[in-house]
Structure 1
Amino acid sequence: MPMFNAARTVTRAIDSVVAQTHGDWELICVDDGSTDGTIELAAAYAPQLGNRILTERLDRNGGPARARNHGLARATGTWVAVLDADDAWRPDRLHMLLTTAAPSGADAVCDNLIGFDDHHGRETVPLFQSLPARLDLPTAVAAEYQGRYNLGYLKPVVRRAFLDQRKIRYDESLRTGEDLLLLLDILAAGGSVACSSRATYIYTTPVGEGSRKLSRSTNTAPRDADLARALERFAERHRMRLSDHDRQALSRRTGYLAAIASISHFRHARLTRDWPTVLRLFIERPEIRRHVWLFLRPKRPSFFQTH
């Protein structure tokens, strides 16, 4: 569990691990330079959990990928899973995923995610209608899946031996998109990734489905150019393993990231009420003005609309 200034949410996350019906687990909490007492809240569980919960405080804030890698380095279990400190698990998540993975021989297994609106404090809807039984790289890297989110939001449970043998770790150059790159590395290394359409990971969406407000726990901003560069490095690193179909899918995603970079920046500035940035982008970028016009223009009545 990577943690950064998560005092408001971390006990909910830890409680969801303690409540798992699969009882054989250890929880490694890695504090990424918090200043709000997050690690003290996590450490307070030690009297009831003993050595099942480990806490580590990093010397500086290095981002979620670095914190994840510290957790992986300390993990001893057969399987490893990441749980962000503002998210939670349904009580049967580990049991469901491990019983799905074992008979299928998968190296990693993913579940669907159910959204959580941080402002309303309640679950909303699953992110995806369904997931493929087996995941391939072009599907994983697509900009959208079923017209909604991309599959980079998935939080796989992975065989630790597979990660260690292939020397797979999170890309520490990234502050966002690190879960997608790990998933792609698993697939490029020949990993078999099974999926369940059941939603048992409770994911705090960056913007609430009901409130339409930016989550109070989000610490990230759009970094589309960083992710595009990471995908280009990935394509180069695995060039001998990738099919033409894989390379085309990666190229489409990098092109998409370049096209939406300024719009993502504009939307984030608007949600955080950074009005100087909103005004600057509106003045400087014609694609922003087109975006605003398309949003504000009057909607013409449909030919079939009756009055």
Structure 2
Amino acid sequence: MAAAGATVSVIMPAYNAAATIARSIDSVLAQTLGDLELIVIDDASTDATVALVERYASGDARVRLVRQPQNAGVAAARNAGMAVARGDYVAFLDSDDRWHPRKLEWQIGQMQQGGERVSYCAYQRVGEDDRVLSTVLPPTRLSHADMLRSNFIGNLTGAFARSLGAAEFLAIGHEDYVFWLQMVRRAGGAVRIESAEPLAYYLVREGSVSANKFRAAGWQWRIYREVERLSLARSLVYMLHYLWNALAKRR
């Protein structure tokens, strides 16, 4: 399903990512939807990340490098990318994750066909040895209430139409979850892209911040109480849903 003349801005934050970013960039440049720009936001790396991205940019005009003056974190990096994005749609890919070659073609094509403004897809969680740990198949459609039960939109799978207006990530734990909560509410819902196989591959690192389950649960509680401003009773109900779905993702 071709995306007729659509332009997609792909936002990729990077910090000391020289060991992994080449595979991530390659998976973007290999997309069958060629009308895209890849905006790499270097968050003041101290390794060879900048030199590596500059080599890509010198060989492919679709690659743009934005350098942060100082390390400010992933939320600020993504916001810097969105501030200079020129596409009709925006998608995100971190510097250690990858996409299926037809991910954007299918995603943007189905969004255009159905008039959807937020979409997502199935993805695989893979280990550092490329072993598939699990496949995550989110619901076919999501409302804001559905999203309160769990973050069903993996950030590397989500895309939104810029017609929804300006958006930004907050510097808070689970910043991607807060972002998609806001976007789904604004769009009035979101849809899963139909595909015969997962379209993205999320790298699970041992000892990563997101792997700390107790810390992640604390972030989730704070989102319910301080960002969404839910009552104590509603927060407890949604927290139980969150814990159940978090376990389901790892089965």
Q: If the length of structure 2 is used for normalisation, what is the TM-score?
A: 0.80
Q: Using the alignment, how far apart are the partners of 1:23 and 1:181 within structure 2?
A: 30
The one-letter code of the counterpart of 1:252 is V
Q: Using the alignment, how far apart are the partners of 2:53 and 2:114 within structure 1?
A: 35
Q: Using the alignment, how far apart are the partners of 1:42 and 1:248 within structure 2?
A: 48
Residues 1:134 and 2:141 are matched in the alignment: yes
The one-letter code of the counterpart of 2:140 is A
1:1-307, aligned counterparts within 5 Å?
1-50=12-61, 52-118=62-128, 120-128=129-137, 131-143=138-150, 150-154=151-155, 155-164=157-166, 168-172=167-171, 174=172, 176-196=173-193, 198=195, 199-206=198-205, 214=206, 218=208, 222-236=215-229, 250-254=235-239
Relative contact order (alpha carbons < 8 A, sep ≥ 6): 1 or 2 greater? Answer: 2
Cα displacement string for residues 45-76 of structure 1 (whole angstroms, at most 9, x for unaligned residues): 122102x1111121222221111111100100
Q: How far did 1:188 drift?
A: 2.2
Q: Using the alignment, how far apart are the partners of 1:256 and 1:134 within structure 2?
A: 17
Q: Using the alignment, how far apart are the partners of 2:93 and 2:192 within structure 1?
A: 17
Describe the SS at the equivalent of 1:151: coil
The one-letter code of the counterpart of 1:60 is Q
Describe the SS at the equivalent of 2:193: strand
Query: May I ask how many residue pairs the two structures share in their alignment?
Result: 227
Q: Using the alignment, how far apart are the partners of 1:252 and 1:29 within structure 2?
A: 39
Whether the 8 Å contact between 2:143 and 2:185 is mirrored in structure 1 is no
Max radius of gyration: which structure? 1
Unaligned runs of 5+ in 1: 144-149, 207-213, 261-307
In structure 2, relative to structure 1, the CA distance for the partners of 1:76 and 1:250 (3 Å cut) is farther
Q: Using the alignment, how far apart are the partners of 1:153 and 1:92 within structure 2?
A: 17
Q: If the length of structure 1 is used for normalisation, what is the TM-score?
A: 0.66
In structure 2, relative to structure 1, the CA distance for the partners of 1:163 and 1:177 (3 Å cut) is farther
Describe the SS at the equivalent of 1:85: coil
Cα displacement string for residues 126-150 of structure 1 (whole angstroms, at most 9, x for unaligned residues): 123xx3222112322224xxxxxx5
Whether the 8 Å contact between 2:139 and 2:152 is mirrored in structure 1 is no
Percent of counterpart pairs with the same letter?
27
Please identify which structure carries the higher strand content.
2
CA RMSD of aligned residues (A): 2.6
Q: Using the alignment, how far apart are the partners of 1:49 and 1:116 within structure 2?
A: 28
Partner of 1:298: none
Comparing 189-198 with 73-82, greater Cα deviation is found at 189-198
The one-letter code of the counterpart of 1:92 is R
Whether the 8 Å contact between 1:13 and 1:85 is mirrored in structure 2 is yes
